[in-house]
Structure formats: structure tokens, C-alpha cells
């Protein structure tokens, strides 16, 4: 460095030549508001930058080697600055304030360390100490009142009212951000009755660009005491701009000044509402003329906002915790149902109302093995189209919030359904749960037409702030309420649980298939051996009548085993058994089946109670299989010597069939698995040695495909199985 020709100080910030306000580096404006002066030091206390008005206020001649100890500052100011330097060696230091006297007048002194630089700001006071003491007492009372309020709406209304009283601003508003960064005025306190109310109006996200939102998180309070102020330039020995993110005196964007002037605002103050580390909203204060707010009152307003933010955060945390607990309960109940329910869609169907509440949706669609169920007035055609629209997606969780996110052919025929949250828990079987939300048609009251326009403003041709803030109404369509983070967390947890259950069911299915093959391999040996021996006897000329009867018996047993195996294969693969519905006289069916049982088992007593005729739309062959299985079950498990009773009656468009046998009540621990396949306790029954434990399982599937129900009851001394079938077919019960 040439010491004979030292460098001259230069402007400490970039020249503002903006094309859009989103490009503006507002944290390094290179100037401050004229409410005080600023001095900046490096980490060892050397003066590196200052505001132009500081030279006269402090009384020093700029020089490169000036240290804080060389400046004619009060000792307490120097001590505050040196404390920040010492602490700043370990990292950034938040602003620390001091009340003192400088040049014969009371001032507020604020110092902080940021990016290895220490900024000292001196702010002129406009109120006496006695006035500030009264303000402080009022602020303390306001804090006590706010701490007693828990409802968010009441809290916002009380806070704006208290801040309006403390500061005297003409208008104080609570502004809450939406998911798209636009915001609504949700509370308002006006000190003048002639002001147009802004409550309920919305302002577009573009009114507060992203870099401004960042500063609202870093520096939670900003005052513009006079919108028409002339900024004071900063000068520096360095080419590096001075970052004023934490500064109290930072000059604001000229575009924002133009914005406020377009609104007719003379002074402005904003206080951030920060919840869970995010910018939840703002307290915005406007005055029609210039208005200075003492630094201590600003800090009191900041504390009030922090008290309010903490209360809002606590309320939201309680609400989220309650939602998560409720969702966990629904998820647990659903999981238990699916693990015990053979038909996964039937299990989901039972819990659809709870799932709708948990996911906060308007309708649900569920699919498995090509079968689809839905709720909430969703047609089968639309449900199939919605499923088709996600068929090519690879991710397990899919969300949509607007019509633009749907495939073009479908977007015009969604019948008002716009929001989608799809959980693809089993792609191999088409297992999917889809939550739908309706289109949210909003009639928005904007605070002026939201779009900005390119115009020639004070800074030349560019995107200029809106000039009108009169209420402007708009109908907004094509979007649903977006899926918030809480709903996405609940959806992810539900997806994981459905995937776990699905994997468990696949493991069970593999086990069932293996067991079925092993059972068939074992149980078919005896009838095959019997047929083989009978054939050998026929060749040897033994009595043909007895041998023929043995062949018929063994082949019938084989046919039953193979039929059950085929039925199980269809059930477990999700194909269902398939029913061919025709008008059938159930009374004739019951009588004929019992007659066959009497012929086949003449030693067993049977009783039938049925009307002369009862016609129903059923698959006669499959219903006959149901009756045969239940009568066979009664014969094999009932007490010997007691009759088996079959009863048929009509009740409310429903055919009710009861099969009763005398016997002991089924153990409580077995009732829950009574209709499961391959029950260990159902096999190796000495009265039914060839049984595989499939009869009741297949029977329930047949009844279910008819839209009916099957249940067990015990009324001493009778074990009773009750079948209910809709007379007019599935869906009519």
C-alpha cells in the first residue's frame, strides 16, 4: 500500500439499478435512515465504515488507522462495542442495547457483531425518560394480559390492540401467511374511524419478496419513522459491502418506500411473528404521517410479538399432537383389521370414515386386485380413471393440489375433485389408497389488484409496486386446499403401516400356498390308494358292488379336496370365487340338501324348518356349497345322537339361514380365528380325518361375495352359524 497516497473512502453499498424488486440486495443498501448514525469496526477495533452524518456527530477526521479508542465516544459506548468484539471472536453476537447520553442528549446505543464486523448504532431519542417509564409500565401490563389468552384469533386481536395503544399508530394489523406466501389481514386495530378497514383482505406473495422474508426472520422489527426520509450514505475503506441484516437503522428498499407512498402511508413499523422457525405472519403498523417510536417501545412490541408467537406455537403443537395421536389410533385399528380380515378392501371399508377425518379429505378410493371401492360420492367410472392417472407413477406417495397437475385428458372431467394424495402400498396387486379433496372456490378480497406491471417509476422502467390498494375481488378456481406437512406426515406413516401389513399378508400367502401343496400331497394319498386297491380287487374278481362304492366315496373325497384347493387359490390370489346370480328357491334348496345328507349319513338326525317357498337372487350352486359346509361342520363337531337343525326364514328383504347343533361353546381364543384357513385345531379331527380346515373360510368368502354375512353364536346347548343373504342380490341387504 502506498502510504503517501492512501485510498479514499468510497460508498459502502451497490448502486440500486433494479429490473425487479426480487433482485434487490436489501441487506447491503449502502445507506441508513437519518434517525441516528452508524460506525463499523473490524475484529480488532479499527474503524472500517461509517455513515456520513457520523463524522459531524462524533467529531473525527476519517483515517485508515483510526481505532475505537481514538474516537471521542463515551466510555459506556466503547465498553459495549468492545464486549461485542470479544464475544464476536466466538461467532456472531445479537444486538445489545444501552441507554446513555451523547453530545448533551439522550440516545439509545445498539451494538452487534456479524460476519467478523462490529456495528455500533446510535439512535436519537424523541421522548423523555419519564415518558418511556410510563410506556414500559403499559407494555408490562399488556404482556400479562396476552399470556392469559390461548385462542389464536383472540390473541391476534388483543396483540394488535395493545400495540396500537403503545405506539399510537393509526392502523395496526396482524397479517398471516398462507401456503403460497400470500397473506390475509386477520386482525386489525384502528386509531382513526375515517380509515377504510383492511380486515379480511389478502395481499399477494410478490408484495414481500423472498429476501425481505429472510430479513424478517433475522431482524424481527423494522421501523420507518418517516417514509419520505433522505437516506444517509455509508462510506468505507473496503470494497466489501457492509451487511446490515441485523441493523436497526438499515435503510429500506426504495421500491418499498414507493409501495408505502402509493398506500398513503407516512410511517411504518413491522414486527415478525415467528413460529417453529418459520415466518408465520407479521404485525404491520401504519401511520398517515411521520411517527417516531422510541427504541425501548419497539423492543416492548417485539417482546409482545414473541409472547404471542410462543402461544401460537404452543397451540399449534397441541393441535398437531392431538391429530397425530388420533391418526395413530386409526392406523392401529386399521392394521389390526387388515391382519385379521381376509379381504383387505373390506377391512379398509370399515375404517373409511376415520381415515377421511385423519387425512382431512372429502373422499377415499381403495383398490386391490383390480377391485375398487370408494366413498364420498365418487363414481366407479371416475375412481377407475383416477387410478389409471397414477398407473405410470413410480413413487409410492403422490400428491396433487391443482388441475394443472392432472393429466390433460382427465383434468376436464374430475367433477370437482382436484386434490389427490395417493398411497401405493402394494404395486404388485394394485394395492392403493387415494384421498381426494374438492376444488376450493374462493372469492378473494385482494388489497388492490395483485399483479404488478412494468412502468416507469422513480428508478426507471421496471416492475413497479402496485399503485392502487382499493379492494379488488376475484374468484379463484382450479385448486384444492393443499396437503399440509401434518397431513403428509400422517400419510407417510399410514403408507408405511399399509406396506408392513401387505408384506405380512404376502408372507402368509406364501405360507398358505406351501401348506396347501403339502396338505394336498398328504391327503390325496389315502383316496388314491383306496381307488387303486379297489381297482386291483376288481381285477381279482372281488365283489364289485362294495368296491364300486369305495371308488365313488374316494373319488368324491378327492373332488372335494381339489375343489377346496382351487377355491383357496382364487381367494388368496384376490380373484374371488365368482358368483352367477339367478332366481333360486332357497326353501327347495335347503330341503333337497338335507335330503341328500340324510341319504349319505342315515345315522344322523336332521330337522328342517323352512317356508314353502323363498326366492332369492343367488348362485344356487355356491349357496348349496355353503349349506353343505355348515351341515358337514355340524355333523363333525356336534355331539353324537343329537339332531342337526336347519332353519330358513325371511326378515326385511333378507334370507336368514341358521344351522344348529348341540355342542359345547367354542373357546373364546378360537372365535377370532374361526373363519381362517388352515386352523391347526380344525385338522386331524377323528370324525373328519380328511378335513383341511378350509370349509368355514370358503363359506364366508361365498357369503361375502353375495353381499351377505356369516357369524357364530352360542345359545346353550346349541352352536349356531347364521347366514344372512340379500334377496335382491349384493348391495341390497
For the residues 246-263, what does the mean pLDDT come to? 90
Determine the Cα–Cα distance for residues 335 and 348; give it in Å rounded to an integer.
9
Q: Provide the 3-class DSSP secondary structure of residue 442.
A: strand
Decide if pLDDT at 466 tops 60.
Answer: no
Same domain for 498 and 599, yes or no, is no
Same domain for 112 and 33, yes or no, is yes
Confidence label for 16 from pLDDT (cuts 50, 70 and 90): very low
Q: What is the pLDDT of residue 2?
A: 38
Q: What is the pLDDT of residue 5?
A: 44
Q: Which residues pair with 688 in a beta bridge?
A: 685
Q: What is the pLDDT of residue 23?
A: 62
Decide if pLDDT at 123 tops 90.
Answer: yes
**Residue 226 burial (CB count, 10 A):** 17
Give the containing element (helix H, strand E) for 644: strand 644-650
Closest alpha carbon to 175 in 218, 213, 215: 213
Same domain for 301 and 203, yes or no, is yes
Chain position carrying cell 437519518: 34
163 is written with which cell numbers?
Answer: 400495540
- The string of pLDDT tens digits covering residues 479-535 is 888 898 999 999 999 999 999 988 887 776 666 556 555 555 444 444 444 445 545
Q: What is the pLDDT of residue 539?
A: 54
Decide if pLDDT at 564 tops 70.
Answer: no
Lowest mean pLDDT among 34-38, 63-67, 466-470: 466-470
| Burial tier of 486 (Cβ tally within 10 Å: 0-12, 13-18, 19+) | middle
Same domain for 496 and 566, yes or no, is no
For the residues 594-602, what does the mean pLDDT come to? 77
Answer yes or no: is 244 within a domain: no
Same domain for 160 and 97, yes or no, is no
Please answer whether residues 241 and 251 qualify as being in contact, where contact means their C-beta atoms are separated by less than 8 angstroms.
no
Determine the Cα–Cα distance for residues 265 and 228; give it in Å rounded to an integer.
10
Q: What percent of the chain has pLDDT over 70?
A: 77
For the residues 585-591, what does the mean pLDDT come to? 91
Question: What is this structure's pTM?
Answer: 0.65
- The string of pLDDT tens digits covering residues 217-254 is 999 999 999 999 999 999 998 888 899 999 999 999 88
Q: What is the pLDDT of residue 687?
A: 45
Please answer whether residues 300 and 189 qualify as being in contact, where contact means their C-beta atoms are separated by less than 8 angstroms.
no
Closest alpha carbon to 379 in 416, 349, 406, 407: 416
> Alpha carbon of 480 to those of 386, 419, 435, 617: distances in Å?
16, 5, 12, 43
> Alpha carbon of 370 to those of 294, 380, 388, 576: distances in Å?
70, 12, 11, 11
Same domain for 398 and 496, yes or no, is yes
Angle at 13 between CA 11 and CA 15, to 5 degrees: 90
What contacts 319, CB < 8 A, 6 or more positions away? none
Confidence label for 681 from pLDDT (cuts 50, 70 and 90): very low
- The string of pLDDT tens digits covering residues 349-362 is 999 999 999 999 99
Answer yes or no: is 232 within a domain: no
> Alpha carbon of 311 to those of 179, 307, 594, 664: distances in Å?
21, 6, 73, 62
Same domain for 503 and 609, yes or no, is no
Q: What is the pLDDT of residue 593?
A: 82
Decide if pLDDT at 8 tops 70.
Answer: no
For the residues 202-211, what does the mean pLDDT come to? 82
> Alpha carbon of 195 to those of 205, 256, 501: distances in Å?
24, 21, 61
User: 7 or 393: whose pLDDT is higher?
Assistant: 393
Same domain for 716 and 659, yes or no, is yes
Lowest mean pLDDT among 72-76, 79-83, 474-478, 648-652: 474-478
- What sections of 472-585 are H helices per DSSP? 485-523, 525-539, 544-572
For the residues 154-169, what does the mean pLDDT come to? 92
Please answer whether residues 337 and 351 qualify as being in contact, where contact means their C-beta atoms are separated by less than 8 angstroms.
yes
Domain boundary among 79, 107, 124: 124
User: 485 or 340: whose pLDDT is higher?
Assistant: 485
Chain position carrying cell 462510506: 235
Answer yes or no: is 501 within a domain: yes
Q: What is the pLDDT of residue 727?
A: 92
CATH code, domain carrying 589: 3.30.565.10
Same domain for 215 and 173, yes or no, is yes
- The string of pLDDT tens digits covering residues 554-563 is 454 455 555 5
How would DSSP label each residue in 390-438?
A: TTT--SSEEEE-BGGGS-HHHHTTSTTEEEEEEEEEEGGGTEEEEEEEE
Confidence label for 415 from pLDDT (cuts 50, 70 and 90): confident
Same domain for 667 and 686, yes or no, is yes
Q: What is the pLDDT of residue 507?
A: 75
| Burial tier of 286 (Cβ tally within 10 Å: 0-12, 13-18, 19+) | buried
Give the containing element (helix H, strand E) for 626: helix 620-637
For the residues 576-580, what does the mean pLDDT come to? 68
Answer yes or no: is 31 within a domain: yes
Q: What is the pLDDT of residue 573?
A: 56
The domain in which residue 157 lies consists of 129-227+265-317
Whole-number average pLDDT of the chain: 81
> Alpha carbon of 458 to those of 16, 229, 262: distances in Å?
11, 15, 12
Answer yes or no: is 322 within a domain: no
For the residues 437-456, what does the mean pLDDT come to? 59
Q: What is the pLDDT of residue 730?
A: 83
User: 560 or 581: whose pLDDT is higher?
Assistant: 581
| Burial tier of 617 (Cβ tally within 10 Å: 0-12, 13-18, 19+) | middle
Decide if pLDDT at 546 tops 90.
Answer: no
- Check whether the bond before 717 is cis (ω within 30° of 0): yes
Q: What percent of the chain has pLDDT over 90?
A: 39
**How many domains is the chain partitioned into structurally?**
6
Closest alpha carbon to 694 in 520, 502, 507: 520
For the residues 658-665, what does the mean pLDDT come to? 93
Write b or e for each residue in 199-218: b if 16 or more Cβ atoms lie within 10 A of its Cβ, otherwise e. eebbbbebbbbebbbebbee
389 is written with which cell numbers?
Answer: 392417472
Ranges assigned E (strand) in 60-149? 93-102, 105-114, 117-124
What contacts 318, CB < 8 A, 6 or more positions away? none
Decide if pLDDT at 474 tops 80.
Answer: no
Q: Which residues pair with 285 in a beta bridge?
A: 172, 269
Closest alpha carbon to 48 in 34, 67, 33: 67
Closest alpha carbon to 187 in 147, 166, 160: 160
> Alpha carbon of 683 to those of 402, 690, 695: distances in Å?
56, 8, 11
Determine the Cα–Cα distance for residues 174 and 189; give it in Å rounded to an integer.
9
- The string of pLDDT tens digits covering residues 85-103 is 888 666 777 889 888 999 8
Same domain for 345 and 492, yes or no, is yes
Q: What is the pLDDT of residue 151?
A: 87
Decide if pLDDT at 403 tops 50.
Answer: yes
Q: What is the pLDDT of residue 731?
A: 64
Q: What is the pLDDT of residue 421?
A: 95
32 is written with which cell numbers?
Answer: 441508513
Confidence label for 3 from pLDDT (cuts 50, 70 and 90): very low
Answer yes or no: is 733 within a domain: no
Lowest mean pLDDT among 266-270, 328-332, 479-483: 479-483
Chain position carrying cell 399508530: 169
Q: What is the pLDDT of residue 468?
A: 44
Distance of CA 91 to the CA centre of its chain: 38
Answer yes or no: is 257 within a domain: no
Q: What is the pLDDT of residue 442?
A: 57
Answer yes or no: is 515 within a domain: no
User: 567 or 499: whose pLDDT is higher?
Assistant: 499
**Residue 326 burial (CB count, 10 A):** 14
Decide if pLDDT at 657 tops 70.
Answer: yes
Residues in the chain: 733
Same domain for 481 and 470, yes or no, is no
204 is written with which cell numbers?
Answer: 399477494
For the residues 544-550, what does the mean pLDDT come to? 52
Confidence label for 656 from pLDDT (cuts 50, 70 and 90): very high
The per-type count for the chain, helices as H runs and strands as E runs, is: 18, 30
Amino acid at each position: 500500500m502506498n502510504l503517501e497516497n492512501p485510498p479514499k473512502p468510497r460508498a459502502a453499498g451497490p448502486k440500486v439499478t433494479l429490473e425487479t424488486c426480487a433482485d434487490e440486495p436489501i441487506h447491503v443498501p449502502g445507506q441508513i435512515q437519518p434517525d441516528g448514525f452508524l460506525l463499523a469496526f473490524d475484529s480488532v477495533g479499527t474503524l472500517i465504515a461509517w455513515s456520513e452524518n457520523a463524522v459531524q456527530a462524533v467529531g473525527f477526521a476519517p483515517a485508515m488507522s483510526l481505532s475505537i479508542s481514538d474516537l471521542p465516544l463515551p466510555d459506556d459506548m466503547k465498553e459495549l462495542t468492545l464486549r461485542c468484539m470479544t464475544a464476536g471472536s466466538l461467532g456472531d453476537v445479537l444486538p445489545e442495547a444501552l441507554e446513555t447520553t451523547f453530545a448533551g442528549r439522550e440516545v439509545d446505543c445498539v451494538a452487534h457483531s456479524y460476519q467478523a464486523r462490529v456495528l455500533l448504532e446510535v439512535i436519537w431519542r424523541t421522548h423523555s425518560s419519564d415518558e418511556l417509564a410510563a410506556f414500559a409500565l403499559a407494555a408490562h401490563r399488556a404482556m400479562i394480559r396476552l399470556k392469559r389468552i390461548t385462542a389464536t384469533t383472540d390473541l391476534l386481536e388483543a396483540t394488535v390492540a395493545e400495540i396500537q395503544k403503545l405506539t399510537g399508530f393509526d392502523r395496526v394489523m396482524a397479517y398471516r401467511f398462507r401456503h403460497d406466501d400470500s397473506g390475509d389481514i386477520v386482525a386489525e386495530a384502528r386509531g382513526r374511524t375515517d380509515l377504510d378497514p383492511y380486515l379480511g383482505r389478502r395481499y399477494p406473495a410478490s408484495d414481500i419478496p423472498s429476501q425481505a422474508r429472510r430479513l424478517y426472520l433475522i431482524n424481527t422489527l423494522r421501523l420507518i419513522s418517516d417514509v419520505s426520509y433522505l437516506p444517509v450514505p455509508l462510506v468505507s475503506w473496503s470494497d466489501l459491502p457492509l451487511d446490515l441484516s441485523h441493523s436497526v437503522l438499515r435503510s429500506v428498499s426504495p421500491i418499498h418506500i414507493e409501495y408505502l407512498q402509493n398506500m398513503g402511508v407516512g410511517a411504518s413499523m413491522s414486527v415478525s411473528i415467528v413460529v417453529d422457525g418459520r415466518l408465520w405472519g407479521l404485525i404491520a403498523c401504519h401511520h398517515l404521517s411521520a411517527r417516531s417510536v422510541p427504541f425501548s417501545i419497539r423492543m416492548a412490541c417485539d417482546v409482545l410479538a414473541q409472547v404471542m408467537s410462543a402461544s401460537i406455537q404452543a397451540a399449534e403443537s397441541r393441535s398437531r399432537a392431538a391429530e397425530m395421536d388420533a391418526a395413530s389410533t386409526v392406523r392401529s385399528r386399521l392394521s389390526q383389521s387388515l391382519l385379521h380380515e381376509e379381504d383387505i378392501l373390506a377391512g379398509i371399508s370399515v375404517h373409511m370414515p376415520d381415515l377421511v377425518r385423519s387425512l382431512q379429505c372429502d373422499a377415499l378410493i381403495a383398490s386391490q386386485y383390480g377391485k375398487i371401492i370408494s366413498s364420498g360420492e365418487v363414481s366407479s367410472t371416475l375412481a377407475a380413471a383416477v387410478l389409471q392417472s397414477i398407473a405410470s407413477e413410480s413413487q409410492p406417495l403422490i400428491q396433487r393440489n391443482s388441475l394443472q397437475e392432472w393429466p390433460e385428458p382427465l383434468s376436464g372431467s374430475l367433477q370437482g375433485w382436484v386434490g389427490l394424495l395417493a398411497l401405493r402400498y402394494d404395486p404388485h396387486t394394485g394395492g392403493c389408497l387415494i384421498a381426494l379433496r374438492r376444488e376450493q372456490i374462493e372469492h378473494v378480497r385482494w388489497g388492490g389488484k395483485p399483479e404488478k406491471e412494468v412502468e416507469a417509476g422513480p428508478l426507471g422502467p421496471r416492475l413497479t409496486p402496485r399503485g392502487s390498494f382499493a379492494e379488488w375481488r376475484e374468484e379463484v378456481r382450479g385448486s384444492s386446499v393443499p396437503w399440509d406437512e401434518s397431513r403428509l406426515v400422517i400419510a407417510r406413516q399410514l403408507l408405511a403401516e399399509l406396506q408392513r401389513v401387505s408384506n405380512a399378508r404376502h408372507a402368509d400367502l406364501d405360507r398358505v400356498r406351501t401348506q396347501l401343496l403339502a396338505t394336498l400331497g398328504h391327503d390325496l394319498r389315502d383316496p388314491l390308494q383306496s381307488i387303486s386297491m379297489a381297482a386291483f380287487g376288481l381285477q381279482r374278481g372281488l365283489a364289485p358292488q362294495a368296491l364300486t362304492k369305495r371308488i365313488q366315496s374316494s373319488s368324491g373325497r378327492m373332488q372335494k379336496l381339489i375343489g377346496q384347493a382351487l377355491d383357496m387359490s382364487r381367494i388368496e390370489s384376490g380373484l374371488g370365487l365368482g358368483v352367477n346370480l339367478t332366481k333360486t328357491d332357497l326353501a327347495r334348496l335347503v330341503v333337497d340338501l338335507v335330503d341328500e345328507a340324510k341319504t349319505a349319513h342315515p345315522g344322523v338326525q336332521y330337522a328342517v324348518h323352512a317356508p314353502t317357498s323363498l326366492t332369492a337372487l343367488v348362485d344356487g350352486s355356491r349357496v348349496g356349497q355353503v349349506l353343505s359346509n355348515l351341515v358337514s361342520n355340524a355333523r363333525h363337531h356336534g355331539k353324537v345322537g343329537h339332531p342337526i337343525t336347519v332353519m330358513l326364514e325371511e326378515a326385511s328383504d333378507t334370507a336368514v339361514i341358521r344351522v344348529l347343533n348341540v355342542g359345547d361353546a367354542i373357546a373364546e381364543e378360537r372365535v377370532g380365528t374361526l373363519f381362517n384357513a388352515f386352523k391347526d385345531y380344525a385338522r386331524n379331527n377323528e370324525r373328519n380325518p380328511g378335513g383341511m380346515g378350509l370349509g368355514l373360510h370358503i363359506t364366508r368368502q361365498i357369503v361375502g361375495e353375495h353381499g351377505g354375512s356369516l357369524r357364530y353364536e352360542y345359545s346353550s346347548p346349541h352352536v349356531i352359524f347364521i347366514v344372512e343373504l340379500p334377496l335382491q342380490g349384493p348391495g341390497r341387504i
